Amino acid sequence: MKISVFEPEIGDKELAGVIDCVKTGWISGYSGKYISEFEERFSAYCGCKYGVTTSNCATALLLTLESLGIGKGDEVITSTFTMIATVNAIIKAGATPVLVDSEPDTCNMDSSLVEDKVNKRTKAILPVHIYGHPCDMSPIINIALEYDLDVIEDAAEAHGAEYRGRRTGGLGTAGCFSFYINKIITTGEGGMITTNSRELAERAILLKSYATVPKRRFLHEHIGFNYRMTNMQAAIGVGQLERIDYFIERKRLIAQWYNEQLCGVDGLILPKEMPWAKNVYWVYGIRVTSDFGISRDELRARLGDKGIETRTYFVPMHLQPCFHKIGLFKKDKHPVSEMLSGEGLYLPNSTTLTARQIKFICDTIKKTRSK
């Protein structure tokens, strides 16, 4: 038996949408009925007025920064514990990323460390909702209000997650989502900006398509780029969105199965859900501490021998050679993120997994320990 860390569930509705695009010839990304339908429905799901589809989340982040006029000479505060797209987007926009350490419980940006990083050049805070658990947004928003900063949520891992009853993507100036194959819902490749700012949405729509204006098609007043999602991808997104609640409930159920069977195992720290949060468990991440008896990497290898695929946690951004090469973060120290990176492991949690498979994984983990 082989259990992969993730596999998607793509159904008939998605297939029918793609066939419709192909048959009608609407396969590109400049316009198309599925693009507007996906934008309207997904942004409404996030509690936002506007949605702007993009080719992926990296471009959603970059386009958001560009649309807000954030670039050269500006600083953006973000989490060192994230996927590299977050920091790359800031650099590609021409701005300077400033990193903060994480909270051990949620792996999210430690909001108590943010204010110290604010200076005259700071333009935005970019919290990342890690592994499906929302960040504690109130302190972040309060700092942003005090210093007149934008808040851009990297919500690539947290579709449908809730902070005090409100979904991610609508908690700050803008939210950026990914629809990569392994995210909560997928379009293969794809992204979206969600926002309540009409000005931001209009600017993003303009810049994502070479700043083309219908009035004078080949005359351009701004340097835009091509960040478009295709109608075919959006058709898959529309199909996926119909089942988003099911996917999230399933992820939460799998997390509950894991929690029930792994709680009390010495040396394992299980994921948390803060009282004010709804965690969508994009991944089910545990920490393997020295009390476990064997190392995280040894556990991973032994699970691998039994056909159980796992992944280790992110390597923090301040430890990335590519950033050291351009002189960034060389003196940064963020001990919590380094601890998470060293101890963290996430277990298979595809929506297709059964209770028996989860039990097999948990039993294998427990046996591994006692040997």
Residues that bind ligand PLP (CB under 6 A): 56-58, 82-83, 85-86, 128, 154, 156-157, 178, 180, 191
Integer Cα distance of 191 and 202 in angstroms: 17
Distances 236 to 29, 179, 188, 192, 307 between C-alpha atoms, Å: 14, 10, 8, 14, 30
Residue number with CB closer to ligand PLP (178 or 310): 178
Q: What distance, in Å, lies between the first and last C-alpha atoms of the chain?
A: 21
Distances 296 to 14, 107, 354 between C-alpha atoms, Å: 38, 17, 25
Give the shortest CB-154-to-ligand PLP separation in angstroms: 5
User: Token pair 């192909």 is at which residue?
Assistant: 22
Give the shortest CB-235-to-ligand PLP separation in angstroms: 18
List, as one string, the DSSP characters of 14-60.
HHHHHHHHHHHT--SSS--HHHHHHHHHHHHHTT-SEEEEESSHHHH
Residue number with CB closer to ligand PLP (167 or 369): 167
Residue number with CB closer to ligand PLP (61 or 143): 61
Give the shortest CB-252-to-ligand PLP separation in angstroms: 19
Question: Do 350 and 247 meet the contact criterion of CB atoms below 8 Å apart?
Answer: no
Give the shortest CB-118-to-ligand PLP separation in angstroms: 22
Give the shortest CB-346-to-ligand PLP separation in angstroms: 12
Residue number with CB closer to ligand PLP (271 or 364): 271
Among residues 74, 179, 182, the alpha carbon closest in space to that of 125 is found at 74
Residue number with CB closer to ligand PLP (83 or 299): 83
Residue number with CB closer to ligand PLP (58 or 268): 58
Give the shortest CB-190-to-ligand PLP separation in angstroms: 7
Q: What is the DSSP letter of 327?
A: T
